Each structure stands twice: as structure tokens, then as C-alpha cells.
Amino acid sequence: MSLKIGILALQGDVAEHAEILTILDAQITNVRRESDLTDIDGLIIPGGESTAIARLLIAYKLIDPIREKIIAGLPVWGTCAGAILLAKEVTNLDRPSLQLMDIRVTRNAFGSQIYSFEKQLHVEGINGDPLNAIFIRAPIIEDVGQDTQVLARLEQGPIVAAKQENMLATSFHPELGKDVRMHQLFLDMCVQSASSGDKYVSIER
Ligand code: GLN
């Protein structure tokens, strides 16, 4: 089954996600307007700068259409800035965003760009060797709600990956490495959702 994955293409790591999805045989749609959301099986909100992406989401009138799709069951994965935009609660984001996922996030939790780092990370649901996770001015997930599953922590400490129903958030950048397993995990969520009958059952959030 070939999946069609939308990548929000307003700012950030769009090409890098597309490259990995292509390796995994997914079709790609760059999402810049509401009509681009039609017929996609999943949506990636890439890393970049959350304030800039939020401003463009507002300018392109995409907040409500994307929220509606996610609430209706569309699988979504936010990486880094994308995770910030998905979070219900964010410290220091100065404008509205999607605010759907039951996570509390702090932006730039490790300091400025020079404090970027890579770490071997065990992620729940990914077997074999740990992932080489790349953190660039990364957020951390301070807390998650009852229905949100923690998928990874940095050295038993801060949460850096979480999943709630059809929503996945990582504070690192799997699209910047060669490892395709995190993208495969998201595609598996999309396959499950596409083949389940309850894809468009609306959940109030
Ligand atoms: N620090 C950025 C922000 O707050 C996120 C960085 C990233 O996506 N690499 O949006």
C-alpha cells in the first residue's frame, strides 16, 4: 500500500523529510494550502522555527483546517518545532498554534544553537540499535497527559518523544540522519489508521 504523506512546507526541514519518505516508497505532497490536505494519509510538521511556522500557519489560514483533520483522526508527526506546534501547552510561544496534543513543552530547553548535540536514544517501538538522535535548539516535553505515552527519555530524564492516539511528537530530528526507522514507525501509524474503519470518527479535544 503506497501512502501519501503531506509535509507542511511553510518553513523548515521539508526536503529532508521528503528524502527519507521517498526511500520508504511513500508519495509526498507539500502542504501549503487547505486543498493540499485532501487525500493524505498522514501529515508531518517539520522542525524549523516554531514562531515563524505559527505565523505562516495563521497567514495561510491553515490552523483550523489542519486541526480539524487531526481531530478527525489524521496521523500527524511533529518534529522539534513541529512538536512545539502540536503541544497544548508551550512556555514562551507568543502566538496561537495547533494546540492539540496533551504535552507541556519548553522551547530551547538546552540553550542556543551552539548547545546542539547528538545522543544515542532508545525509542519505544523501535527495535535493534539505539537511534542517533540529533537535537538542535530542541524543546523538551516537561509533562504528558494521562492518555499520552512516553516513547523516549534522555538518560532517564527529560521526555523527548511521545505519542497520543494519532499524534506523535519528537524533540529531535530523525530526518537529518540516515536512519529511517522513526519515519517507518510513523508510516506504520498511517497504515493502521488508513486501514481502520474509524479513521474519521471525530474526537472532541
Ligand atoms: N528552537 C526552535 C523553536 O522554538 C525549534 C528548533 C528546531 O526545530 N530545530 O521553534
List pLDDT tens digits, range 59-101: 999 999 999 999 999 999 999 999 999 999 999 898 999 999 9
> Is the CA virtual torsion 27, 33, 39, 45 positive or negative?
positive
Rounded to the nearest angstrom, the distance between the alpha carbon of 10 and the centre of ligand 1 is 14
Q: Quick one: pLDDT at residue 196?
A: 82
On whether residue 201 sits in a domain, the answer given is no
Is residue 54 situated within a structural domain?
Answer: yes
| Residue closest to 172 by CA, chosen among 104, 89, 109 | 109
Percentage of residues of the chain with pLDDT beyond 90 = 86
| Cα(114) to centroid(ligand 1), Å | 13
User: Which residue out of 14, 79, 137 has the highest number of ligand 1 atoms within 8 Å of its CB and is therefore the one to mutate?
Assistant: 137
Domain count, the chain: 1
Instruction: Classify residue 202: in a domain, yes or no.
Output: no
Q: Which is catalytic among the residues 16, 165, 175, 190?
A: 175
- Please state the pTM of the whole predicted model: 0.94
Task: List the domain range (segments joined by +) for residue 153.
Answer: 4-195
The CATH number of the domain holding residue 170 is: 3.40.50.880
8-53 per-position pLDDT tens digit: 999 999 999 999 999 999 999 999 999 999 999 999 999 999 999 9
Q: How far is the CA of 106 from the centre of ligand 1 (A)?
A: 10
Instruction: Compute the average pLDDT of residues 145-163.
Output: 96
Is there a catalytic annotation at residue 190?
Answer: no
